[in-house]
């Protein structure tokens, strides 16, 4: 079992607030990814769960038991670090068996467990070698095997793939997904790589500045980001974000900015002008001949092979379109773009929070402006 709960957990380093009032409930068997920019507190949060450091306040529960003060050894968790931390003088077999030897298992029990885990991770042929005689990916698998041999309730991993080259990284990513499916244990996985997060996570907790900005499935974070921070973090190229104003025209709300006038499909008899940030994903903008919502000028066109990235300027705002190739657009030429109302994300300019409405709650019916989610 491996349900992990954090309740109002904070961590101060002197005057630095590394973690601020984090609540997180990780279900047994989840693959939860802690994602966020450098310095946002991902490793600190993982080390708190591992028991390597103590929270300044708050509680940590494992399967309902308060483990806040429990030493790391007594927690049913295995940690895998970016640096592998293998013992260079020991063979692969001895490295993998190490956690069992230090727990005084019998020789035969250790040999059986090591053989079973090595077979799972395709390491059987390498058991006699030392770490220096292995590739980066093989070392990574040995570190994983050493974590697995104890059969822990949960695996805690801090950027375990960051030392691998791009090809090996993608292969190991697939292996980890399969491994998780097969053994069904809880994985808590730290990365700043959004592709790793999107492909591996059952849920992502996106962190910023010591806080969790949004928790949800990869699709939830991508499709309904709660804030401009989440909107701008996930997606490559990132979501187009620009300042605009919501105004009412002929009974409908529009998002208006220089070169931009997008009907939002929201009825309104009258609506106060509201400063907003508009978000549109590059793949949701279509180059058209007529009925443009955005009138812009092409600045550059990047050929990605199957697609093109068309960089445009609307007013003073640089925007990016992802379109099938060839788009027949030319640098310096004017371009017309259409956007569907449902593909427009609206955020409050002051708070950066997502603005919402529901069909029953449109401004026309209730007279209330867009509200902050």
Cis ω before 326 (30° cut-off from 0):
yes
Q: Give the separation between CA 258 and CA 278, rounded to whole angstroms.
A: 12
What is the CA angle 73-120-113, rounded to 5? 50
191 near Mg ion, judged by CB under 5 A: no
Contacts with ligand ATP in 38-67 (CB under 6 A)?
38-44
**Looking at 4, 6, 9, 18, which residue binds ligand ATP (CB under 6 A)?**
18
Which of residues 5 and 43 has its CB atom nearest to ligand ATP in the complex? 43
16 near ligand ATP, judged by CB under 6 A: yes
Do residues 113 and 150 lie in contact, with contact meaning Cβ atoms separated by under 8 Å?
no
Which of residues 43 and 240 has its CB atom nearest to Mg ion in the complex? 43
Quickly count: other Cβ atoms within 10 Å of residue 24's Cβ.
Answer: 19
Q: Whole-number minimum distance, CB 159 to Mg ion, in Å? A: 6
Q: What is the CA radius of gyration of the chain?
A: 25
Task: State the number of binding residues for Mg ion (CB under 5 A).
Answer: 1
192 near ligand ATP, judged by CB under 6 A: yes
Q: Whole-number minimum distance, CB 225 to ligand ATP, in Å? A: 20
Contacts with Mg ion in 26-45 (CB under 5 A)?
43
Q: Which does 39 bind (CB under 5 to 8 A by kind): ligand ATP, Mg ion, none?
A: ligand ATP
Q: Which does 13 bind (CB under 5 to 8 A by kind): Mg ion, ligand ATP, none?
A: ligand ATP
189 near ligand ATP, judged by CB under 6 A: no
Q: Give the separation between CA 356 and CA 230, rounded to whole angstroms.
A: 16
Q: Give the separation between CA 300 and CA 332, rounded to whole angstroms.
A: 8
Quickly count: other Cβ atoms within 10 Å of residue 300's Cβ.
Answer: 12
What contacts 229, CB < 8 A, 6 or more positions away? 206, 208, 213, 352
Q: Under the rule (CB under 6 A), what is the footprint of ligand ATP?
A: 13, 16, 18, 36, 38-44, 192
Residues within the interface to Mg ion (CB under 5 A): 43
């Amino acid at each position: 079992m491996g349900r992990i709960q954090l309740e109002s957990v904070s961590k101060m380093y002197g005057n630095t607030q590394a973690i601020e009032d984090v609540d997180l409930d990780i279900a047994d068997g989840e693959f939860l990814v802690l994602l966020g920019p450098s310095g946002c507190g991902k490793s600190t949060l993982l080390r708190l769960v591992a028991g390597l450091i103590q929270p300044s306040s708050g509680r940590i529960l494992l399967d309902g038991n308060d483990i806040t003060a429990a030493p790391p050894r007594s927690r049913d968790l295995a940690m895998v670090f970016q640096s592998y931390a293998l013992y260079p003088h020991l063979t692969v077999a001895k490295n993998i068996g190490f956690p069992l030897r230090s727990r005084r298992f019998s020789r035969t029990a250790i040999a059986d467990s090591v053989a079973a885990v090595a077979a799972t991770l395709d390491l059987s042929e390498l058991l006699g070698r030392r770490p220096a005689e292995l590739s980066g990916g093989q070392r990574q698998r040995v570190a994983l095997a050493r974590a697995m041999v104890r059969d822990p309730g949960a695996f805690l991993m801090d950027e375990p793939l960051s030392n691998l080259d791009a090809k090996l990284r993608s292969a190991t990513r697939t292996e980890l997904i399969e491994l998780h499916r097969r053994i069904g244990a809880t994985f808590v996985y730290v990365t700043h790589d959004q592709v790793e997060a999107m492909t591996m996570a059952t849920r992502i907790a996106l962190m910023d500045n010591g806080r969790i900005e949004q928790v949800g499935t990869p699709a939830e974070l991508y499709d309904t980001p709660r804030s401009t921070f989440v909107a701008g973090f996930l997606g490559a190229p990132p979501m187009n974000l620009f300042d605009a104003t919501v105004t009412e025209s002929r009974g409908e709300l529009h998002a208006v900015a220089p070169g931009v006038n997008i009907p939002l499909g929201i009825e309104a008899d009258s609506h106060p002008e509201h400063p907003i940030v508009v978000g549109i994903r590059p793949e949701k903008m279509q180059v058209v001949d007529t009925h443009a919502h955005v009138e812009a000028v092409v600045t550059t066109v990047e050929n990605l092979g199957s697609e093109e990235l068309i960089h445009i300027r609307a007013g003073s705002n640089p925007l990016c379109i992802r379109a099938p190739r060839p788009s027949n657009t030319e640098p310096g030429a004017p371009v017309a773009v259409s956007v569907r109302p449902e593909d427009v994300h609206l955020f409050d300019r002051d708070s950066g929070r997502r603005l919402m409405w529901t069909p029953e709650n449109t401004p026309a019916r209730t007279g209330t402006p867009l509200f902050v989610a």
